[in-house]
Chains A and B, each alone.
Chain A
């Protein structure tokens, strides 16, 4: 299949000097947003007690552990700013992302031992579920750095119970194991109760010599019989018990290595535990990349950093999506599926690190003489019309047939509306795309390049595709909302305006409310808000998107559950047959 993959068609255009000059302010606006994101990330890294205090105790912080554990330059952090319950720490108490360890890709998550010794805090449960979902979708090992003091007791109502509470993680671990996804745990420190289950629920447990895991910690064991209140005698008893358990915490390595054997290995040093994880990771099942690569890896012909000179910070600004994609894929090459049909949407095959991926994205700009179902108006980029929806349905289905994972790029203002659009079946075709996605077995990821709006945010591989979307990236230009704030203000207050006008009352109070709603929409759709609430899993610089795509491509092809031989793929042939009619029949022999 070399003729299809080794040299694909050229994609995108070089930047013109005039464009670079014209986009100077654009780049500055993008950088300003990213600097504010960097400041928030820095705040998260400094959450809890200072790193120096941890190191003075002879321990490593979670960040030190990740740095030592992961192959240099491969960590792609996710959920760094995720903080849906507005914890004062600005995070959920865990650090996670895609990472390569000993040459094998995994989903990595570790408790931040600077934050209340790795306590369960608000939002952590959902963070953990996102991470276990990712391991399941990508069929990747899950690696835990366990250092968990259990429930933050003053806020137990936020973390302990509920359908998607912290305990749900342990059921997910069991689910992963039952579908063949291994979970490794490197265990440090005191891990009582919830921390104990964080320790026991993985597949392979490697412990530091001072680690312990237990059903309950010393604090619980010394006060398990409520007497209806506290008095001096009771306090003395608590002091005695606490002193005892401080010296000999329950579930130490003496119990769980020497007696129960739960701990496979115990290590003298902190780094020793990480070396143990590295050794297990080196033995994880993984295909050699040559098994699935369709061409040698290559960098994009145009630098990814140039995307800041293409994507308009001004949400109304048009740009060339193909030139964005060109800066993210190997050698800036592609095979476009159904060129010209549904022109508002790009669908095509691209290579990332030598692996084949499907790419789908909204094109921007003007599309005269389209959509085909009306002459009342003309198509505008970012919106979805009939042909575009049909094309995405076809492409997703074909990608599944050929087992090609998909990267989505959203910059969409929604699906065309009105009775003309209804007659064109757009409501049905949107849901059909959801059906097509759900019918596939291929992993997907999403980059919200700019707008994620209305149902289009769902149907274009959005995070709502729980069984397929491994992660969603945001950028400095990301905005996610059901509709633009001004549109929402009109929808909410138009009738009221008419009423006030007919009653002869002043319009100013309503206008103020409309402006307030539009302002609120703007605040609650910006990149930081999207990251904090989990609308996206990380906000990254444009030039970093490529790293995540490389991680995604390597992850999905490391150990896929289902395979299509390259020579049995139909998509490249379907694409080529759009241009090439096929082989001529040989002339009849005389």
Chain B
């Protein structure tokens, strides 16, 4: 079953910390999102393997936009 990790609020992607195929655990940092002048880690919401990364550095994202898909 796939799990989508969403942007908690609008912002800019400062860094993507994982790559497709990486094994991640719940609470692992996946991307750094700049929002409200702060740089915030976005955490994995489940254990799994990174199936898809839908953003890249410097992308602007909306709230609830899918950032990473886990398998």
Q: Residues of B at under 8 Å CB distance from A?
A: 8-9, 17, 25, 27-29, 33-41, 63
CB distance from B20 to the nearest CB of A (A): 16
| CB-contact partner of A366 in B17, B27, B29, B35, under 8 A | B35
Chain A residue at minimal CB-CB distance from B10: A378
Query: Which of A11-19, A74-82, A98-106, A168-176 lines the interface with chain B?
Result: A11-19
Would you call B29 and A18 a contact (CB within 8 A)? Answer: yes
Number of residues on chain A facing chain B (CB within 8 A): 20
A366-B8, A366-B9, A368-B63 known; A16-B39 Cβ under 8 A: no
Would you call B17 and A380 a contact (CB within 8 A)? Answer: no
Query: Which of A212-220, A311-319, A528-536, A573-581 lines the interface with chain B?
Result: A311-319
Would you call B38 and A381 a contact (CB within 8 A)? Answer: yes
Would you call A318 and B41 a contact (CB within 8 A)? Answer: yes
| CB-contact partner of A378 in B9, B17, B34, B37, under 8 A | B9
Distance of A382 Cα from B39 Cα, bound (Å): 12
A378: chain B residues within 8 A (beta carbon):
9, 36
A18-B17, A22-B17, A366-B9 known; A318-B28 Cβ under 8 A: no
Would you call A19 and B36 a contact (CB within 8 A)? Answer: no
| CB-contact partner of A316 in B9, B29, B38, under 8 A | B38
| CB-contact partner of A22 in B25, B27, B29, under 8 A | B29
Nearest first, the 9 A-B pairs at minimum CB distance are A318-B40, A380-B36, A366-B8, A316-B39, A368-B8, A317-B39, A378-B9, A316-B38, A366-B40
17 contacts between A and B (CB under 8 A): A16-B29, A18-B17, A18-B28, A18-B29, A314-B39, A316-B34, A317-B38, A364-B38, A364-B40, A365-B40, A366-B36, A368-B8, A368-B9, A368-B63, A378-B9, A380-B36, A380-B38
CB distance from B35 to the nearest CB of A (A): 6
B36: chain A residues within 8 A (beta carbon):
366, 377-378, 380
A364: chain B residues within 8 A (beta carbon):
38, 40
CB distance from A381 to the nearest CB of B (A): 7
Distance of A19 Cα from B40 Cα, bound (Å): 13
Distance of A319 Cα from B29 Cα, bound (Å): 11
Distance of A16 Cα from B36 Cα, bound (Å): 26
Would you call B39 and A13 a contact (CB within 8 A)? Answer: no
Beta-carbon contacts under 8 Å, A481-507 to B: none
Beta-carbon contacts under 8 Å, A260-316 to B: 312, 314, 316
